[in-house]
A and B are shown apart, each in its own frame.
Chain A
Amino acid sequence: MAENTITKIYSAAKKFIDYTPPTGPDPFVLDEKRPFDSYQAQKPPESAIAKSADHLTALLRYGERLSLYTDKVSKALKSGDPINDTAAFKDELAALEKQWTWLAPLLYSYQQNQESEDLPLGTSIEENRRILETIYKLPLNKDVVIKEIEMAGTPVVPVLVVYMEGLVDSSKQDHFVLKPLMSADVGRNIDAGDLIGSIKKKIIPNGQVHETTTFKTLQEGVNRGDTVVLFDGFDKAVIIETKGWEHRAVNIPQNEQTVRGSQAAFSENLRTNTGLIRSIMRSSDLITEMIKIGTRGQTNCAVMYIESIANASLVDEVRRRLKSIETDYIIDSGQLAQFIEDFPAVIFPQTISTERPDRVAASIVEGRLALLLEGNPFAQILPMDFFGFFHSGEDFSVKSGIGNFMRILRLFSALISTVLPSLYLSLGYFHPEAMPTELLLAIAGARENVPFPAGFEMFMMEIVFELIREAGIRIPGVLGSTIGIVGAIILGQAAVAARIVSPIVVVIVAVTGLASYTITEFRMASAIRLVRFGLLLCAWTLGLVGLAIALLALIVLLCSIKSFGMPYMSPIAPRSIAGYDVVTRGQVYNQELRPDALQTKDNRRQATVSRLWKKKPAEKGDKEE
C-alpha cells in the first residue's frame, strides 16, 4: 500500500514513541579517556634507552682506544727515533679496524634511537633521505618535496633536492638551482674531490649559499623557504636561498580587517595559502595532509596541524569524516564544514571561518586543525568553542586592558543584538512599570499616532533593516554601502514621518544592527540575527516569561552542541582549566597552557616563567650577542 499523509503521520508518531537503539558509530567525544595519545606511544621504552646507553658506552670505549693509539703513533713519530716495532702498530691498527667493523652496526643502531634532528648529516643520500622523511613525517606531509636528480659527468653524482612547496619561488629554484646542477659536468669543469666547494664557486649563481653539516640547520633552511641540496658521498649539504612565498601583495583581508597585525589574506590558490601559514609557523612538524574531496570535483583539501600538539584522535576523526564524504563536488569550505560537523542543523557555526593566515597559525599552535579548500580563500579552524567567535585577530596585538575592553564590548554587543528588541517588547507590553516614568511617557507619546502594535512595528523594522543589509551586499561596488546608509536614513525618517513606526523603535533597531556588526565572525553574527527573531516572537507572546524560557532553551542548546567532539561551551560548561584566554585574556606572558578541552599532546605552550630576564641577571654572553 502506498504511503499517504495519515500513514506518514502514524509512522512518525510510532517512530517517536517506539524506542529503537541508535545505529551507527558512537558520537565522537574529545576526552582524555580515549586512547588518543599516540605521541606517548612513540616515546622510546626504557629498555631502548638502556640499549642506546650501552651502544654509546661501547662507542666511547672505542673512541678512547683510538685516541690512545693515535697518541702513541704521534709520540713515536715525534721522538725522531726509528720505529722498530712497526708490526705491532700494524697489528693494533688491524685490531682497531676489526673492532670498528664490529661496532659500525652499533653506531647505526645508536643513531636510529636518537632524535632525527640532532643527528649530523651522513654521507649516504638514502640514509639522509630516510631521516628527512622521519623529520617531515613523509609521505603524510604534502608540503615538503624531496626530489632526486643526477649531476652529469663522470662520475655521475646523485643529488637530493629538498624544499617546501609554497615557500619557494619556483622560477628562482629552476634557474639558480636545478638547471645549473643538472647541466654541470662533473670531472670536467668541477673538481670531484672538492665537489661542494666547486659548486658554490662555479655552478650556483646565487649570492646566498651556505654549507651545513646538521639536520637541524638543514631544517631551518627548508622551513624558511630555501632549497637544500645533498650530494651522495658527502656529509655536507648546501642551502641555497630561494624564498618566494606569496605575501601582502596577494590580498588584504576584506571581512576581518584589523588595525594591528598582519594584513595578508588567503587567496584562491591552495598552495599559496598553505605557504602563507608556513611562512608564519616554520615548524618541521606542521603537517599538511592533502585529501581529495568530491567524486567528480576531486578538489584538494589541505588539513594542517602540528603533529606534536594536535590530538591524534581528533586528526584521525577529521580525516575519517573528510574521506567518507560522498558527493560530486564541494565548492566552498563553509559547505565542507557542514558535511563534517557534528550538528549541521544547528544555526551556530562550529568552525571558525577566517581569511587571515595569522589567525590560522595562532589556532594551529593551540592544537586546533585548519582545513583549506582549493579555490577558496577561507580556512576553517576546528574544533572551536563559543567564546572563540568573539575573539579578534588583534586582541593580542594590544595591551591586555585594551584587548579585554574590546572583547567585553563585543560580548555586550552580542547580548544587545540578541535581546534588546525582545526586552523592549516585554517591558513595553507586559511590564511598563519597570521603565523610568519619563522614558515611559516619551515612548507612549511617540507611539500615540502609530497605528500598529509595538510587536508588528519591531518586526517590520527588523525585516527592513535586514533588507537594507542584504541589498547593500548585493548591489555592486561602492554603490552598495552608499545605498545601505542612504536607504537606512531615508527609510527610517520617512517611516517615522509617515507615523508607521515610532522613533524609539528606529533607535532600537539601529542600535541592535550596529551591535551585530561588532561580532567578528560573519556566521555567528547571522546566527545571532536569526535568534533575535525567535526571541522577539517569544517576547511578543509571553513577555519576560517567554524571553526567559527562550533564553534558557538557547543556553541548553548551546551546552548540548559539540564541535568535533569538544563541548561548545567549554571551558565554562563543562568546566575545565580555562587558561587566560576565554572571555577576557590575561597577559601574554601568562598564557602558559593550551586550551584544556582540546586535549592536546603537549598542553604547555610556554614556560611558567617566560620572561627569564626578570629572574636571570645579564651575563657576558648576552652583550656579545
Chain B
Amino acid sequence: MNFNSGRMGMAEGIALAFIVTFPSIFLSVPSSAVAIAGNGGWLAGIPAALIAGVLMFMLTYVFARHSGDLLEVTEKLLGRLSAYVVGLFYFGVLFGSAILWTREFAENTLLTALPYAGFPFVVACYILSAGFLLFAGIENICRATYIILPFMVLGLVLVLAGLAPLYRPYNLFPWQGNGFSSLIQPMLTMIGLSGGLSVLMILAPSFQDVKSLKGAVIFGYGGSALLRILSVAVFIMVFGSNVAREKTLPFYEMARLIYINRYLQRFEALFILLWVMVGVLAMAISLYGAIYITAKLFKLPSIKPLLPVMTLIIAQLAMILPDAKSVLDLEAILYPYVFAPGVILIPTVLFIATIIKGGKKAWPHAQL
C-alpha cells in the first residue's frame, strides 16, 4: 500500500502539531469561553493544554513500543474491532473539524474580506485550495507550514504587543469570572479541539523517530497552546468579558484596535493573509488525516482517488447548516461532549494496554 505520506522530521512535526491546534484562535472559541466562564475564561486553556499534552505523551510512550500508525497499533493492542472504532472516532474528529473550519473560515472571509462574494464561491475557493495542497502530499504541506510558521508567530506576537497600551490586567483575575466550575465546558472544548493532534499518531510511520513525535508535542503543541492562552488573556485584558463575548472574530478585532501612528493604523486587513493561510493549511491537514483513515479502514491501495470526492463532500456538508449560529451551536456540542471524551479515553486505554501487555522498543518503523 502506498499512501505517499512522505518522510518527516521534528520540524514537520512541530508545524503539523501547531497548525492543527491553532486555528481556534481566529474563530469564535475564545468568545465562547469568555461567554461561559467570564473573565476567567483564559484559565480554561491551561488545564486543557496540560491534559492534552499528557495524553499525547502517553501515546508517544505507546508508539515507542509498537510500530505502525494509530490504527495498526490499536489493532495490535486491542483487536481489530477496537481499531475500527478508534478509526471511525478519529475520522469523525478530523472530518468534523475540516467541515466546521471550512464553514467558519468562509463565514469570516465574507465578514472581513469579501463582503460581496457569494458564500458557495468562497467555500469553493477554500476547498479547492485545500484540495490542491492535498495533491502535493502531507510532507510538502508540513514543510510549507514550517516555512510560514515564524511569520504566523511573529504576526501574532506583533498584534499582542501592539495592544499593550490597552491592557487592563485587572480583567484577568479569576474572581472577575463566573467561578471555577464554569471553566469545565471551555476546557473540554479545548481538549476536543486538540483531537487534531491525533494526525501525528495517524501518520506516525512517516516520522523518523519517536523523538520527532515528542518534539512535535512539546514545541508544536506547547507553542500553540502558549500562544492561544496568551491571546485569550490579551483578548480579555483588552475588551473585558462583557464586550469580548460579543466579538465573533477575536483576532481580527484585536488587530483592528492597534494604532501606532497616523501612517500605521487599521492594518488588520494585512492579517487576513495570515489567517487564510492557517485556515487552508489546517483544513488540508485534517482532511488528509480523515482520508488516510478512510483508506486504511477500507484497505484501499491509495488515497489519491479519494481526494476529489472527499473535498466535494466537505464543501457540500459545510454548506448544509443554515447560519453561523447553528455552526457555533453544533461546535458547542461536538467538541466538549463528543470529541473530548474520546480524545481523553482512547490514549488512556492504549497507554494502559501497553503497560499491561508490554512491548519492546519498536522504533524506527520497519517500513522506514
Contact = CB atoms under 8 A, between A and B. Distances in A.
A447 to B, nearest CB: 19
A427 B114 contact: no
Interface stretch (B29-37, B133-141, B169-177): B133-141
B276 A549 contact: yes
B147 A573 contact: yes
B146 A573 contact: yes
Interface string A16-38: 11110100000000000000000
11 contacts: A17-B308, A18-B305, A427-B269, A430-B269, A546-B125, A548-B272, A548-B277, A556-B133, A556-B140, A560-B136, A574-B12
Contact of A551 (B140, B277, B308): B277
B9 A575 contact: yes
B132 interface: yes
A558 B264 CA distance: 32
Given A542-B114, A542-B125, A552 B262 contact: no
A433 B266 contact: yes
A543 B277 contact: no
A156 interface: no
B113 A543 contact: yes
A453 interface: no
Interface in B141-164: 141, 143-144, 146-148
B109 interface: yes
Nearest to B276: A548
Given A544-B269, A552-B280, A436 B262 contact: yes
Interface in B4-56: 8-12
Nearest to A31: B7
Interface string B262-297: 111111111011101100110000000000000000
A547 B109 CA distance: 13
A572 interface: yes
B144 A574 contact: no
A556 B6 CA distance: 14
Contact of A434 (B10, B109, B270, B280): B270
B304 interface: yes
Nearest to A433: B266
B113 A430 contact: yes
A559 B270 contact: no
Interface size class of A (residues with CB under 8 A): 35 or more
B287 to A, nearest CB: 14
A544 B305 contact: no
Interface in A514-544: 542-544
Contacts of B117: 542
A437 interface: yes
A573 B277 CA distance: 17
B136 to A, nearest CB: 5
Interface in B280-333: 280-281, 301-302, 304-305, 308
Contacts of B2: 21
A498 interface: no
Contacts of A19: 301-302, 304-305
A569 interface: yes
Contacts of A431: 113, 269, 272
Contacts, number: 112
B129 interface: yes
A248 B154 CA distance: 49
A490 interface: no
Contacts of B140: 556, 559-560
A575 B146 contact: yes
Interface majority SS (helix, strand, loop, mixed), chain A? helix
A549 B136 CA distance: 14
Given A544-B270, A574-B11, A430 B114 contact: yes
Interface residues of B, number: 45
Contacts of A21: 2, 301-302
A542 B128 CA distance: 14
A560 B140 CA distance: 5
A310 B263 CA distance: 53
A545 interface: yes
Contacts of A557: 136
Given A434-B269, A551-B273, A545 B301 contact: no
A555 interface: yes
A267 to B, nearest CB: 40
A556 B136 contact: yes
Contacts of B265: 436
Interface string B171-196: 00000000000000000000000000
A60 interface: no
A552 B144 contact: yes
**Which 5 pairs, one residue from A and one from B, show the smallest C-beta to C-beta distance?**
A573-B143, A431-B269, A548-B276, A575-B11, A559-B143
A556 to B, nearest CB: 4
Contacts of A434: 266-270
A574 B276 contact: no
Nearest to A546: B125
Given A436-B264, A574-B9, A575-B146, 20 more contacts: A16-B308, A18-B305, A19-B304, A430-B113, A433-B269, A542-B114, A542-B117, A544-B276, A545-B122, A547-B273, A551-B277, A552-B133, A552-B281, A556-B133, A559-B136, A567-B143, A573-B144, A574-B11, A575-B10, A575-B11
Nearest to B256: A433
Contact of B129 (A18, A436, A549, A560): A549
Contacts of A569: 143, 147
Interface string A476-492: 00000000000000000
Interface string A431-475: 101101100000000000000000000000000000000000000
B147 A560 contact: no
Contacts of A572: 146-147
A577 interface: no
Interface string A194-225: 00000000000000000000000000000000
